[in-house]
Amino acid sequence: MISGLFASLSRGGLLALAAGTIFLIMALSMKGGWHWLMGLGVLAGLFGVLFVFWLGFVPFEARMKTLADLFQDPNVQFRLGIWTDTWRIIKDFPVFGTGLGTFAHIYPGYKTAFNQVTVLYPEGDFLQILVETGFFGFAVLVWLFVAFFKRLWARWKDESRYPARVNPIVMVGLTAAVVAMLAHGLGDFNLHIPANALFFAMIMGLAMTVKREGIGVEGR
């Protein structure tokens, strides 16, 4: 998977990988997972370096150099133009939005740039939620993710009360994947691709496959 990220030369993908890795390291360090984690990190880093050299360092280096002048990049300028127009839609429909699946239909009336380009998504999952469901729908989404992470945090802290059907470390890995996909969604319509959305839902479901021990239906 790391080799696929490097081969894609996707800056968003690499930043998402970094976000997920940082989360994984922080979570495991709280459980004394430094020993094997450091070895795994060195191994993954060595593999990444070797793959970059095999792929050819020149295209990778050229791609990463664009981060220095990020706002001059045509792709970034394209996104910024869309985001500027999208915020105008949000200002006109702040509470409940324009309705699910309506962005592609309402955006042409607000478009100020790239007139020859058909825009179907605002290049950001969270921004599209704001447009189509307003701040009310966005608040519901935030609440759901806060509840998700809060529940997993409780289970990670107290494994004796929440024995997992999956290994707790695997649960943390799955949660890191959720963090990575959310990070990628900041600048892309990642979760509006059905395959990605299905995979995302499966990861969240697997991470939640734990049960309380010794508590019956009446004590729930």
User: CB-based burial of residue 135 (10 Å sphere; 0-12 exposed, 13-18 middle, 19+ buried)?
Assistant: middle
Q: How many domains does the chain have?
A: 2
C-alpha to C-alpha distance for 162 and 157, rounded to whole angstroms: 9
Q: Is 135 part of a structural domain of the chain? A: yes
Domain-located, residue 24? yes
3-state DSSP percent of the chain in helix, strand and coil, to 5: 70, 0, 30
Note whether 106 and 145 are same-domain residues: yes
- The pLDDT averaged over each successive group of 10 residues in the chain (220 residues) is 71 80 78 62 67 60 58 72 88 90 88 78 87 92 90 73 63 88 85 88 84 42
Residues 11 and 78 placed together within one structural domain of the fold: no
Residues 109 and 169 occupy one common structural domain: yes
- Residue 216 included in any domain: no
Distance CA 71, CA 107 (A): 23
Give the domain range for residue 4: 1-68
Boundary residue ending a domain (68, 84, 116)? 68
Please give the Cα distance from 140 to 191 (Å, whole number): 17
* Nearest alpha carbon to residue 44 among 168, 173, 178, 185: 173
Could you tell me if 40 and 123 lie in one domain?
A: no
The residue among 38, 68, 98 that closes a domain is 68
Q: Which residues does 7 contact at the CB level (< 8 Å), separation at least 6?
A: 55
pLDDT attached to residue 138: 93
Residue 188: per-residue pLDDT: 81
Helix axes 194-207, 168-184, angle to 10 degrees: 150
> Does any domain span residue 219?
no
Question: Do the domain assignments include residue 218?
Answer: no
Are 118 and 84 contained in the same domain? yes
CB-based contact 123:81 (threshold 8 Å): no
Is 206 in the same domain as 108? yes
Residue 50, domain member (yes or no): yes
Q: Are residues 56 and 110 in the same domain?
A: no
Cα→Cα distances 205→65, 170, 178, 210, Å: 38, 13, 11, 10
Q: Are residues 16 and 32 in the same domain?
A: yes
Which pLDDT score, from 0 to 100, does residue 211 have? Answer: 52
Report residue 8 as tokens: 């894609």
Q: In whole angstroms, what separates CA 39 from the centre of its chain?
A: 26
pLDDT value, residue 142: 92
11 and 117, same domain (yes or no): no
Residue 92 and residue 121 share a domain: yes
The answer to whether residue 217 sits within a structural domain is no
* Pair (9, 96) in one structural domain: no
CA-CA distance, 92 to 181, in Å (whole number)? 29
Quick check: pTM over 0.85? no
Residues 8 and 50 reside in one and the same domain: yes
Q: Let me know if residue 220 belongs to a domain.
A: no
Which of 37, 52, 68 delimits the end of a domain?
Answer: 68
